[in-house]
Structure 1
């Protein structure tokens, strides 16, 4: 997990099924972008286990070029992007304290198109069933699978419920 709103929720509610099966960098020290190369490293360290990176749109832009390296190295990892077109946690913090929200609404590329251009599999699932299918398929592939979830989408609302 990278520094992104869903990872903060995972930290509070997720019980990992076994030791060394979940790690994240969301410690409050701004380690944006760490999740992607860490997930690739986890997959290289335990190639028999599935690897999933949960990362935000802002964090991914710190290390997105690593997708090309992972394609070249044949690292099959699911990369689940939470795309809210902002540094959402920082934006919420600023709003709660009446601070002008400057520099937190960011440009985000077409992540699915970008991932495909870099040689990855990529999708933007519309339902929980499609998300589950993509996650399962990612474990059988030889390259990263980028899965973009757009905040505000029906899938995002289902996941938040």
Structure 2
């Protein structure tokens, strides 16, 4: 999974809104202050408004403001609003008909990709926009991984 440039820019612009929660920030100002090309910032603003993340106002004093509470809005919600679902592999739609990969049941790696995807989603969901921007927090994994058997493989081996 790669965080797109659009997502990076959107998060920078949203950070500017969190730092100015009472006022409206113009798209031009958010773009300039965060090194985002203005035309791209306009497109991002439009997408964030469609996703219900920001509210936009027009006019000389127009701009955008947060439409969500940054204290309860996770990075997962924001990343997925901009670039869609977080996916590590295409196992769920790699089949000829757009369905699951036909090799999924026998695949040694599918459980690893699925668990990695769950871990990444959980990581992004464990921190809010406010915590990152205003409190300087980030999630940290503690402990280590332990190896477990693959129930699907163990069952197939006993049959």
- Structure ID, larger Rg: 2
Q: TM-score, normalized by length of structure 2?
A: 0.25
Question: TM-score, structure 1 length as denominator?
Answer: 0.25
